[in-house]
A and B are shown apart, each in its own frame.
Chain A
Amino acid sequence: MEQEEIIQIRDLHREFLVGSETVHALNGVSFSIRRGEFVSIMGTSGSGKSTLLNILGCLDKPSSGEYIINGTSVNSLNRNQLSTLRNRQIGFVFQNYNLLARTSAIDNVQLPLMYNSEISAKERKERAIAALEAVKLTGRMNHLPNQLSGGQQQRVAIARAIVNDPVIILADEATGNLDTRTSYEIMTLFQELHSKGKTIAFVTHEPDIATFTTRTIKLRDGQIVLDEMNNQCSAAEALAEYEKNMKHTMI
């Protein structure tokens, strides 16, 4: 089944001026992401994956090349239009969760909708509750971030990323701060979201995390060196396996 390409990138370049030297962080990157794909973007540090993610997230603009998200060419947009685009089309999940301190889980999840004046307070709350249900945190809606574990905080962050029903969820090392077990749990959650039709781009440097996705794009020195489909492993199974092993070691 041929799916619509929601992300199209053609010959993307991004250069930074460091002192008097020009650094080519991205050097002619082209690929597309179809609706419903679960893509992992891999690469060592300095490979350009963060730069790529910033451009995908409309936080940064390419020096040259074209980026079209959901039919909109990003190059021609100004700062305010980019903000609106991020607000409606993109969901971010960060390595360090980036939740507002001393703010309840539900208020954290509502945050993106606060910047959308078309959504009423009532609808905002309903959607936040639905998002928290989707990440299985219904019982902890009024907890503050410091009352939640790392995994739970990341779940709140994921709920925040899906609350505006984005066309793509961008996760930046979303399991980087978590232990193996919790990482598997979070990946299970991502797989569930994926199975419900969400498009996800997942930046990581851990190969085993990448195996839970459907496609891997590998970057080196600002260029794509590998772009292949995966035999997706089930994170839930990996979790069960891991727990069994843990029991063995304990015995």
Chain B
Amino acid sequence: MLARVANNLFWMGRYIERTEHLARFLSVNYFTSLDAPDELSRSRQFVLRSTMYMSANEIIDSHKVLDEEEILFNVGLNIDKPYSILNAFTNAHENARSSRDLISTELFECVNRINHTIKGYPADKFVKSGLHDFTSLVIQSASEIRSKIKSTLLHDEVYAIIMLGIYIERALQVSRIINSKLSDAAAAKVIHGDETDGSYQWATLLKCVSAYDMMRRYYKKTPVRASTLEFLILNSKCPRSIKNCLSQINKYITIISKDNFAAKDSAAFLIGKMKADFDYKLMEDIDENLEVFTGELIDQLILIAEKLENNYFNISDVAVSKKQTQKQVLK
């Protein structure tokens, strides 16, 4: 497989996964806040700030009054904002298009059709009444695309690289969602003290990762801080837990890595080491310094993604695509 195309496929996987998390966070965070138990969590300004923190990684000055429709448009359909859902999906589509000879017709048609739908979604409708409709559409679309990836592609290196993209992005997004909700919970605690119904923040966090129902099934108790974080970080059965993502990343890196013993500092080595570390991690090891832990987790995942690019998709000597046109029309 061409290194350039491998890079495109990796990023296709990442952007598909990213759109889903952006959409789900936006929707869950917004809709659960409408009838939140405490005043702060119900506050529009608080919700919009939390949305911007997760989508754009931006902490907005607390004096600034945010305009709801503007924020929703920016994170949803504003093509000029690199963090918008539209932009993420456009990137997924562009990456699919430049590797369309390698992926199945079914997969490309699916990505392409969804691209038309998302691009054509009326911005006006979205900010006024379409928030739920649009985000559901994006969430379902990501599932549909993943199902085409799983069921119509050869399970070879092409597949492994897309899956690597998906799971690295998933681990990153889940870490960022945890991070953002930890900070929301801390803010609520400062204002309302211990009176706040803590389970509200933890339930929201679980819903943001579509893990609420299964968490209830697993623990049979109302979610609290420790059980929620344990489920999302260390539970090997939860499909979106960090631990599970790492084990998937490890599985797919073995498919593309031809060495039985990964070289020190290679992507495969780092992933294996991180996975081994997680296998024996306990909640009590990380509970005290959770913010630090999630921060480091994000850094490590970014480092792995960079190593992957260096090890397999090294395109530093490949010229940047230019729109040079030869005078070659459809004759």
Partners in one complex: no
